[in-house]
Chains A and B, each alone.
Chain A
Amino acid sequence: MADKIDYKALGFLCGLEIHQRLQTDHKLFCRCASSIKEEGEHSSYVERKQRAVAGEMGNIDQSARFEEKKGRSFIYRISESDTCLVEVDEEPPGEINNEALIISLSIADAMRMEPLYEIEPMRKEVVDGSNPSAFQRTMLTGLNGHINVNGRRIGIPSISLEEESAGIIKAGEESAEYDTKRIGIPLVEIDTDQYIKDPEEAKEVALYIGRMLRITGKVQRGIGSIRQDVNVSIAEGSRVEIKGLQEVGSLDRFIENEVIRQVNLLRIKRLLEGQAAKVGEKKELSGIFKGTKSKMMTSSMKDGGQVYGFKLHGFGKALGTEVNPERRLGTEISDYAKMGGVKGIIHSDEELAKYGITEEEEKSVVAALGVGKEDAFILITGKKEAAEKGIEYARERATQAVLGVPAETRAVHDTKLFTTKFLRPIPGGARMYPETDVLPVLVTKELMKEAESASPNIERTLEAMKKELGSEDLANQMISSHRLALYKKLSNATKSDKRFIANTLLQKFVELSRNGYNVDSINEEELAEAFRHYEANKITKRAVEEVIKGLASGKRTKEVIKERQLSRKSKAEISKIIDSAIKKRPKARKDEIMSEIMSEYANVVDGQELKELVEEKCG
């Protein structure tokens, strides 16, 4: 599909925002550790409400107001080991973490950005509950840089250092629950300009930046540690932000689908214009469903629910038009309605019988709303307040369909079909103000020096890696791997052959991981110990793999070697083994002797050594 779309002709604009968690000793504004324990139990909760406060223009941000309309309360889980009062907005923040600042400045340096004279901490308002303070602390650390990807210069207008928000546990109609552990982990946000030429290039840029970040050796790895937000628009369309893409591999597919969605929405717009389409007023239709057999209606009305509907004048064809795989305009309208907290949404292009709605009831609805042949309608049921909100949102979305593509923030809907769904309106620009609780930091020469010396340079690193590993291919793989930091640690901690370490991390680890070994849980010091044992000829190359298997189940190197009897046989021992093998089969050939011995002692006998000894003995 990708090659069929002429992105240039469509007026395609696309920019990325890449968020990467940093691996620092502690969080950005408090002394809690940055490496949180995902499993740990939470010990308490706090429950909060948030309000959209008047912004600097004296008005309230649309996105903020939207969240508040939902009127939800937010429950925050607190675990003593990972969260202190700062994260739950009960203590002012401490100073900016210098370690995180240096990493951020070093990335800015690698992207040839203009340094700032002073770092100004800011508050970015967020009222979806993802931060108990209702804002995220963030600061600009570099301006106007660029990177070169496949010979194209990609502008990097800004890089910022910010705090991670809370992880959502569950989002309900009346409340949302968050875990506060993650809050405050330092995060860099790297923004590209909007001139990425096509989805493929977007993916390449994301990969390039990811590689650069890993080279610092100071970034976290694992699920959620890197996230991509994508801004996409086409001419006559609107800016749509797709949030939280975690898999860089499918980035291009999501972008492509968004382009297709906007093209289809513009098609729908023209269709609706032709029909002089408009959105009707809401009507209460509860009366029609008194005594209904529809399960959806009865269960809703039992809780005191009501049924509302509105006419979509001229929407007859449009409503069922597909905008993305398995997503129609009707689905988009439903998404909005759901934000009001209702589940019962029906649109007229659906089979109403599947909801247990009789033909007679349908006729009554059609009559009550005055729906004609070219028209459509929407029904919503739920508690009065929720249903009214739902209707309001649905009508808003339908109205936008006549205008074209609404500017939205969207979230991943289906990772197999690469489709997205409405999350909230695009936040307005005026949502930032100074963080008065934290002092600005002067970017001194010393600070810049430290940043420059830690600057991640892909070309330089690749060159050095090539020398180190003696293979361009291996070097390329290594610097693209998320185990790069581990490689550096191991090659500094042991004198083992670096190629062997690289191959183990790149191939063996993947292999073992596929076979169900939890290699990412391995204690790094124990792993270094395994390589040290190898380097001291205490175990063979093959035994290293066996040791790793044991380490993956939480054991220690020495323990595994002892339990699985992995100690390497000495020359004298091998000699004895050969002697007895020859004695058993005096007529056997050299290779037969060797393979017999290896079949029994593969993990503890070094093949080369065995070969030499057999040669010696059998002449």
Chain B
Amino acid sequence: MYSKKVREALEKQKIGVGDIISIKTTGSEFEGTLMPNTEANSEDAVIIKMKNGYNAAFRFSDIKLKKLGEKREIPKFPSVKYERKNRLPDIELIYTGGTIGSKIDYLTGGVYMLTKPEELLYEVPEISEIANIKVNNLFSIPSEDMSSSEWGAISKEVAESLNKGSRGVVITMGTDTMHYASAAISFMLENLNSPVVVTGAQRSSDRGSSDAFMNLYCAAAVAARSDIAEVTVCMHASSSDNACNVIRGTKARKMHSSRRDAFRPINDKPIAQVTKDGEIRYTAGYNRIGEKTEVKASTGFEQKTGIVVAHPNSDPSIIDFFVEKGYKGIIIEGTGLGHTPVSISHKGFSWIENIREASEKGIIIGMTSQCIYGRTNSSVYRNLRLLKRAGAIYCEDMTPETAYVKLGWLLANRKKGEVAGLLQQNLRGEIKGRTEYGTFLV
């Protein structure tokens, strides 16, 4: 932001961002377009974009400003209108924000979220050879701000679209919490009988190197051509632009902060790979599209559900805190097979009593593993047996995130008495009966 002093001086000379101005220093004169001052700049830096494209910053007190011309109109983004092709299936693209839709504002240099998601399709014209796409601009929210109400809103849109005849749905969103969302939508959509594909990007789509283009193309291919009647995540399989993995929505997890191939299946194999040319190669079992059914969106979510990490030195009274705050469900990320401290030598560190008390009050306590990979087990060690007896429910091979989402959803959509049982039962592919050898670090 420009400082008050600079702002006032600019206003006085009727200079606004985007205007062509001249800047006189002691020795030279420069011309350029006035840029805004962002939170990254010093507030007394006057920034212009010069003819050669570079931005140059001058200290306000060292220069004299003169307006040379009005703000130029930035031409509208070329609009895309694809002819409807009757031979192609109809799919819907629900746009919700995130890096895939973030664009640089060429005038101001700031990053903004696309207001017209159609612009995305402009960059991927070949997508029009896969399907007729209806774009649904639902909202524009960065991944870190997504909540259960957005998951619910998305699920409702998906159900409506499918019930109206879409062959499949692609949802674009931010990637950081994509695996929570893909799990949530998996649970919320009941009787799903079509492909629902979640995708996004690790590099914004204003970059020539963006992963958005192939991700979008492959996701559209899955929605339009596959017979996968599940919610899946479709993102780069490797750092190369060769193929995307199609990962079950309840088994996906973001495993890297920045790489294109950040999304990996946990305790599961990818259902399929889609090549950059849109060819789908199935690699594991999945629910196939069956007879047409009405999809129902059960979008309730218990807000009083939380995740707690058990770590060395951790204070078990954190459980009491959650109880006092009225929480109905807690997922513990235990160590190894699903431990918390139960030490007899350090009484104050034992979680046993706190879990027992919470459990007796009807709070559901689910146990997962912070190892991420592998299955929890409640009987190998005595300490595990103590926790189970205290009331912890072992969540099999679910990731902590999926267990959290599932618990929140169960608490709002199922009878109270059924929740504990259902938490341990497979509903949407989130629990595998057997752990296949080839599912580690894939």
Contact = CB atoms under 8 A, between A and B. Distances in A.
Contacts of A51: 123, 208, 210, 213
Contacts of B106: 55-57, 430, 433
A124 B52 CA distance: 11
Contact of B75 (A58, A132, A439): A58
Given A53-B206, A114-B25, A120 B55 contact: yes
A187 to B, nearest CB: 15
A127 B208 contact: yes
Contacts of B62: 117
Contact of B59 (A117, A135, A429): A117
A433 B109 contact: yes
Interface in B34-77: 40-42, 45, 47, 50-59, 62, 74-77
A89 interface: yes
Interface string B23-35: 0010110100000
A50 interface: yes
Interface residues on A, range: 35 or more
A431 B75 contact: no
A114 B27 contact: yes
Contacts of A64: 208
Which are the 8 A-B pairs with shortest beta-carbon distances? A56-B106, A134-B208, A432-B53, A434-B109, A118-B57, A120-B55, A134-B209, A117-B59
B214 A49 contact: yes
Contacts of A536: none
B285 interface: no
Contacts of B240: 45-48
A118 B42 CA distance: 8
A109 B30 CA distance: 19
Interface residues of B, number: 52
A280 interface: no
B432 interface: no
A90 B106 CA distance: 23
A124 B276 CA distance: 27
Q: Which of B42, B52, B53 has the most CB of A within 10 A?
A: B53
B332 to A, nearest CB: 32
B74 A53 contact: no
Contacts of B241: 47-49, 73
7 contacts: A49-B241, A53-B123, A53-B207, A118-B47, A119-B57, A125-B208, A138-B54
B47 A53 contact: no
A607 interface: no
Given A90-B258, A120-B56, 14 more contacts: A47-B242, A49-B213, A51-B123, A58-B74, A58-B77, A92-B258, A114-B25, A114-B28, A117-B62, A122-B53, A140-B50, A158-B52, A440-B41, A440-B57
A15 B11 CA distance: 39
B258 A85 contact: yes
A117 B52 contact: no
Q: Main SS of chain A's interface residues?
A: loop
Q: Which of A45, A127, A144 has the most CB of B within 10 A?
A: A144
B421 interface: no
A440 B43 CA distance: 12
B209 to A, nearest CB: 4
Contacts of A144: 27-28, 30
B76 A116 contact: no
B254 interface: no
Q: Which of A53, A57, A440 has the most CB of B within 10 A?
A: A53
Contact of B58 (A56, A117, A440): A117
Q: Which of B52, B56, B59, B104 has the most CB of A within 10 A?
A: B56
B207 A135 contact: yes
Contacts of B441: none
A114 B77 CA distance: 37
A50 B59 CA distance: 38
Contacts of B107: 56
Contact of A135 (B54, B77, B208): B208
A50 B209 contact: yes
Contacts of A436: 104, 109-111
Contacts of A140: 50, 54-56
B225 interface: no
Contacts of B203: 89
Contacts of A433: 104, 106, 109, 206
Nearest to A75: B240
Given A58-B76, A58-B78, A90-B258, A429 B51 contact: yes
B213 A430 contact: no
Given A49-B241, A53-B205, A143-B30, A122 B45 contact: no
A91 interface: yes
A116 B56 contact: yes
A286 interface: no
Nearest to B39: A439
